[in-house]
Amino acid sequence: MPDPAALDVLAVDCQSTGATPAHGSLLELGWGRPGAPAESVLVTLPEGATIPRAVTRVTGIRSEDLEGAVSPAQAWDRLAGALGATPTAVAHFARFEARFLEDLHASVSAGALPFRLVCTHEIARRLLPDLPRRGLRALAGYLGWQLAAPRRSAEHVEATLFVWQRLAERLAEEGVRDPE
């Protein structure tokens, strides 16, 4: 396996109305590559679903913002188009993103996700065991990136790419070839 810092990756981020697809819906999907601006789309909610006040408070996304939202299938198509032949995606807390990405993928296609999902939070837990907090805001700040509020996918993608690049450099320095 090549040096982790040389891997072609696509960072992904999901914002949702709940902690899992069983308790909420995908609200925003973002993705991006190193050196390019992050992209994101708002995703239409299922009939009758609403955005909880707590989610609006954290993300700033309101029901009226969903006017131009895309369907889940369109969101998946855009992500798949951005993914291309890239076999690796990174997310900051991949267990969260994986659930929504798997649910989204299952709504349009059978089988497993067509990419490997690597978790920067898990890598940071192993590489930086003495760090008291490893949330995206804390970790990005520790590594030199200022993350602003509200929590939106495009900004989280850019912060995740920054974190990934710094962690991948450390992995390479330690001779680690597989980031998982």
Peptide bond into 132 cis (omega under 30): no
User: Percentage of the chain with pLDDT > 90?
Assistant: 82
User: What does the pLDDT look like over 88-121, one tens digit per residue?
Assistant: 999 999 999 999 999 999 999 998 999 999 999 9
pLDDT in tens, 5-47: 667 899 999 999 999 999 999 999 999 999 899 999 999 999 9
| DSSP 8-state secondary structure symbol assigned to residue 50 | -
Sign of the CA dihedral running 76, 163, 52, 37: negative
